[in-house]
Structure 1
Amino acid sequence: MSGILAGKRVLVTGVLMESSIAFHAARLAQEQGAEVVLTGYGRLGLVERVARRLPRPAPLVELDVRDTAQLDSLADRIRKCAGGDTRLDGVVHSIAFAPQDALGGDFMATGWDSVATALEVSAYSLKALAMACLPLMKERGGAIVGLDFDARIAWPAYDWMGVAKAALEATSRYVARDLGPRDIRCNLVAAGPVKTMAARHIPGFDTFREVWETRAPLGWDLADPEPAARAVVALLSDWFPRTTGEIVHVDGGVHAVGA
């Protein structure tokens, strides 16, 4: 099969709904020639149903990024579903979570337990996932791409998830530094707001709609995850062979303009 990912195997996390960027990244990766393996956490039946809407079947492995045993066994479980093949060329990190008390505008009242959960799941997991997949990538190299939301400023209601995204950005740079000698790139796609399941749990999400409607030079469609997914697939490909530690903004240009 032809395409910019022809002959590659890519692991995609975070495919929970058809509206998610991760789903469209998996779809486009398949359309561009990749073999895709999915991970799911908790609602595996839902992930299986959504996966059936992809162009081709994609095996599913369970992964809780807070479970050391599942991380330690991830490479072996991917090998098993790939018929013993030890190769993995790309990883998509689309994992983020913050308890409800860490969102919504009461930033100063959030306790450490909730903050720690947001940081572990949303930022530390990038490093944890990279290390779990390293046994399958260390011989040929590859690309890790994470999904981000611009963390340079304090957004209304985003609160500790904004801090977690800032930590994700820093983590990506350090992963890029440490895995670069193995020819493994690590980059992020900072996407504009998309109406996903995760977005529904962010109080004040409509504020983002107003910002993007008035400030995006290229315009922005909150119902269209494909622009961000295309950037993910491009960064997984060989077309960015010496780009690492980068944040690619796919937000209609909002990051570049003032009020």
Structure 2
Amino acid sequence: MLAGKKILVTGVLTEASIAFATARLAQEAGAEIVLTGFGKGIRLTRRVATRLPTEPDVLEMDVSDPDMVAAVVADLDDRWGKLDGLVHAIGFAPNSAIGGTFMETPWEDVATAMQISTYSFPALGAAFAPLLKASGGGSYVGLDFDATVAWPSYDWMGVAKAGLEAACRYTARELGAQGTRVNLIAAGPLKTMAARQIEGFSQFEDTWDDRAPLGWDITDTEPVGRAVCALLSDWMPGVTGEIIHCDGGVHAMGV
């Protein structure tokens, strides 16, 4: 499905991450991938990269540092001369911005959450647009968590995800002229490293156990990885600006 595709995957930290499942499935489907990491976390990325079917290169990239982003763009330009797919699996909020203290969070921490989790999406889209255009348009896929309602303890990350959903639509509008498809996958809750930051994560588990008509396994990232790979492929050429829910159907259920 992805034979010959050149894909950059961000956010791989552990085997439990959606980004890892995406990278593994993309390789199994024929893609060549490169991963990114930064700071102390890059050691985790390099370690987990060895557990993929083919060990990929890992480039350092802090999305809040334009120079580092530009360096990765230059590397991929020299390496491939194009980019068929870009996976945005990036999100961060300081401790004060999640966990039930929504009304007390200082602006500085809100700004950090918004810069990393929201602004980085269009920023990376702009930076990698020339490489995506060189491939004929390519596909840009981000990871989301349904932001149409307020979730317990999710707080400013929920606000950042709402911004991400809007940013996806605007990025799709801006990059559509060059043929680039821009979409989000709104995943159900999974026991990833990001989930460990959320106090009261068990409430999400209980909700999905009760309401998912298809059922939902919080330890299985493969369904979401498959959905990401589907968007990275050429099989959804008319889909952009979309939020596709891969959550067992919870988003469509009432009480």
TM superposition score normalised by structure 1: 0.96
Equivalent residue in structure 2 for 1:86, among 69, 81, 88 = 81
The whole-number CA distance in structure 1 between the counterparts of 2:76 and 2:203 is 40
Mapped contact 1:74–1:132 kept (Cα < 8 A)? no
Give me the CA root mean square deviation.
0.8
The whole-number CA distance in structure 2 between the counterparts of 1:158 and 1:255 is 16
The whole-number CA distance in structure 2 between the counterparts of 1:228 and 1:45 is 25
Residue 95 (structure 2) aligns with: 100
1:54 correspondence with 2:49: no
Mapped contact 1:71–1:128 kept (Cα < 8 A)? no
The whole-number CA distance in structure 2 between the counterparts of 1:59 and 1:250 is 29
Q: CA deviation at 1:74?
A: 2.0
The whole-number CA distance in structure 2 between the counterparts of 1:7 and 1:72 is 24
Q: CA deviation at 1:137?
A: 1.3
Q: Aligned letter for 1:213?
A: D
Q: Aligned letter for 1:78?
A: L
Residue 14 (structure 2) aligns with: 17
The whole-number CA distance in structure 1 between the counterparts of 2:110 and 2:119 is 12
Q: How many pairs are equivalent?
A: 253
Q: Aligned letter for 1:25?
A: T
The whole-number CA distance in structure 1 between the counterparts of 2:183 and 2:110 is 24
Equivalent residue in structure 1 for 2:61, among 60, 63, 67 = 63
1:13-32 deviation per Cα after TM superposition (whole angstroms, max 9, x unaligned): 00000000000000000000
1:30 correspondence with 2:27: yes
SS in 2 for 1:200: helix
Residue 112 (structure 2) aligns with: 117
* Runs of 4+ residues deviating >3 angstroms: none
Report 1:171-210 matches (<5 A). 171-210=167-206
Mapped contact 1:74–1:133 kept (Cα < 8 A)? no
Q: CA deviation at 1:103?
A: 0.6
Q: CA deviation at 1:78?
A: 2.1
Q: CA deviation at 1:195?
A: 0.1
The whole-number CA distance in structure 2 between the counterparts of 1:255 and 1:46 is 33
Equivalent residue in structure 2 for 1:170, among 137, 143, 166 = 166
Residue 148 (structure 1) aligns with: 144
The whole-number CA distance in structure 2 between the counterparts of 1:75 and 1:105 is 38
Q: Aligned letter for 1:11?
A: L
The whole-number CA distance in structure 1 between the counterparts of 2:71 and 2:27 is 25
Q: CA deviation at 1:73?
A: 2.1
The whole-number CA distance in structure 2 between the counterparts of 1:41 and 1:21 is 18
Residue 132 (structure 2) aligns with: 137
Q: Aligned letter for 1:185?
A: R
TM superposition score normalised by structure 2: 0.97
Residue 237 (structure 2) aligns with: 241
Q: CA deviation at 1:92?
A: 0.3
1:158 correspondence with 2:119: no
The whole-number CA distance in structure 1 between the counterparts of 2:55 and 2:129 is 24
- In structure 2, the gaps of 5 or more residues are none
1:54-83 deviation per Cα after TM superposition (whole angstroms, max 9, x unaligned): 001211110100001112222112234x2x
Residue 211 (structure 2) aligns with: 215
Mapped contact 1:189–1:248 kept (Cα < 8 A)? yes
Residue 76 (structure 1) aligns with: 74
